[in-house]
């Protein structure tokens, strides 16, 4: 039987569903939460989304979980609720870690800064952003919806399957922002990256191994209230050395 699926839309092309567009930047996303109805839910183990069935199958093999379709209009229509709270990763350099402050409105991104100056749009770039100087004041303003929140982006490969390509993790965690400068310093140190006095890179350095984890924080306040929440954590474990052909032959 001939496949006439294309002909179905010939008489009403405007009604044809949009074709799925695939990004070449990364093959999947690691997520620490999801929406249940309209309510956000924090997860104890990683949730991975991808549009590639091969990637989904490998994630299930390495981290557990079953690949299933989920309701999204984006390209990563497959999700795996893994059984792993930690994953070993490869970070190319500290340039793979980016952080800024963002506030979204009905029309999209309405405020984008580094906490001191605007990063976009071009006509405002470099101008003072007007954010509070104190860290807690920034958090308080963001909580009311009148100020930007952190947007931390990390791109990486899986240490156990680097051939899959780049994955992405994005977080709005204030706790991660607090230690981000230490993470960047650890990446540069482990990778052997060096800087000149003017902060230009003098030695590029190599990739590093790290763990990307969801950590639970629990404590009881002085008032006797139990508090528990999850936070993402990035811990550098050392330099990364890719397997050489001779090593691969021995493993085989």
One domain for residues 113 and 62: no
Q: What does the pLDDT read at residue 1? A: 37
- What range does the domain containing 52 cover? 23-84
Q: What does the pLDDT read at residue 19? A: 45
**Read out DSSP for 148-176?**
-EEEEEEEEEETT-GGG--EEEEE--HHH
- 15 pLDDT more than 90: no
pTM: 0.82
Mean pLDDT score across all residues of the chain: 88
For 86, left (φ over 0), alpha (ψ -120 to 50), or beta?
beta
Residue that is last in its domain, among 37, 62, 84: 84
Is residue 203 a part of any domain in this protein? no
Distance in angstroms (rounded) separating the CA atoms of residues 205 and 125: 30
One domain for residues 78 and 101: no
- 69 pLDDT more than 50: yes
Is residue 73 a part of any domain in this protein? yes
Per-residue pLDDT of 101-139, as tens digits, reads: 999 988 889 999 999 999 998 999 999 999 999 999 999
Top pLDDT among 37 and 250 is at 37
Q: What does the pLDDT read at residue 168? A: 97
Residue that is last in its domain, among 37, 55, 84: 84
Q: What does the pLDDT read at residue 250? A: 52
One domain for residues 108 and 144: yes
What is the CB neighbour count within 10 angstroms for residue 234?
24
Helix (H) / strand (E) element for 220: namely: strand 208-220
Is residue 67 a part of any domain in this protein? yes
Structure tokens that stand for 100 in this block: 């800024």
One domain for residues 79 and 104: no
One domain for residues 29 and 77: yes
Distance in angstroms (rounded) separating the CA atoms of residues 34 and 71: 11
- 26 pLDDT more than 80: yes
One domain for residues 71 and 108: no
One domain for residues 46 and 75: yes
Per-residue pLDDT of 174-186, as tens digits, reads: 999 999 999 999 9
With vertex at residue 198, the alpha carbon angle to CA 196 and CA 200, rounded to the nearest 5 degrees, is: 60
Is residue 192 a part of any domain in this protein? no
Is residue 104 a part of any domain in this protein? yes
Going by DSSP bridges, is the β-strand pair 78-81/39-50 parallel, antiparallel, or unpaired?
antiparallel
The total number of structural domains in the chain stands at: 2
Distance in angstroms (rounded) separating the CA atoms of residues 129 and 109: 14
């Amino acid at each position: 039987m001939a496949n006439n699926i294309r002909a179905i839309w010939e008489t009403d092309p405007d009604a044809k569903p949009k074709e799925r567009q695939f990004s070449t930047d990364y093959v999947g996303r690691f997520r620490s939460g999801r929406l249940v109805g309209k309510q956000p839910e924090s997860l104890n183990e990683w949730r991975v989304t991808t549009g590639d069935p091969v990637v989904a199958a490998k994630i299930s093999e390495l981290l557990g979980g079953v690949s299933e379709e989920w309701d999204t209009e984006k390209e990563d229509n497959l999700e795996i609720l893994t059984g792993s709270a930690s994953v070993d990763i490869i970070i190319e350099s500290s340039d793979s870690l980016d952080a800024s402050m963002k506030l979204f409105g009905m029309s999209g991104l309405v405020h984008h800064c580094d906490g001191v100056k605007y990063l976009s749009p071009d006509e405002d770039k470099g101008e003072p952003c007007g954010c509070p100087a104190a860290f807690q004041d920034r958090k308080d303003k963001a909580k009311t919806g009148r100020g930007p929140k952190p947007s931390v982006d990390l791109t990486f490969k899986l240490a156990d399957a680097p051939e899959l390509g780049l994955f992405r993790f994005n977080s709005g965690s204030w706790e991660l922002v607090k230690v981000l400068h230490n993470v960047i310093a650890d990446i540069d140190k482990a990778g052997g990256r060096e800087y000149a006095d003017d902060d230009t890179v003098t030695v590029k350095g190599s990739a590093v191994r790290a763990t990307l984890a969801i950590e639970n924080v629990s404590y009881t306040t002085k008032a006797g209230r139990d508090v528990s929440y999850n936070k993402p954590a990035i811990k550098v474990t050392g330099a990364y050395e890719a397997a050489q052909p001779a090593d691969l032959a021995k493993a085989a």
